Amino acid sequence: MQLGRQLLDRQIVDVDGLLVGKVDDVEFAVDTDGVPYVGALLTGQGALGQRIGGRTGRLLVAVTNRFVDDPPVVPLRIPYPLVARVDSAVRLRVPADRLPAAPVETWLRRHLIDRIPGAHRAGG
């Protein structure tokens, strides 16, 4: 399907050029006439694990669930109307801080990064 080549595994970049992640899966919706359309882009280890499937996908999801405070981990869902354009990357209309925080990154920040001396002075 052309959609897979157009979206899957592309970098997602916010309006300021900051990397948000990669498109790991696509969520479809159906309009009132029964026509399917792309409703959201999914990113994160949970989405990637489900897309890979099999033993490898289950392992990725299981490991990911160890790094969140409230498993099971859910993919970061980016509504498709937030996409400005798709070229070499998927470019968003909004800054990354307007998106929900990725659960694994939140866990890593709280339990690892924040414990590093001087981490609060680092840019970003």
Task: Compute the average pLDDT of residues 22-37.
Answer: 92
Cα–Cα distance measured from residue 41 to residue 78, given in angstroms and rounded to the nearest whole number: 5
pLDDT value at 29 more than 80? yes
Q: Measured between alpha carbons, how far is residue 35 from residues 7, 32, 42, 83, 92 in Å?
A: 19, 7, 20, 20, 24
Domain count, the chain: 1
| Residue pair 82/95 in contact by the 8 Å Cβ criterion | no
pLDDT tens per residue, range 79-115: 999 999 999 999 999 998 898 777 666 666 666 666 7
**Closest by CA position to 11, among listed 25, 2, 24, 23:** 23
Q: In terms of residue numbers, what domain contains 115? A: 2-121
Supply 68's token pair. Answer: 């969140």
The CATH number linked to 98 is 2.30.30.240
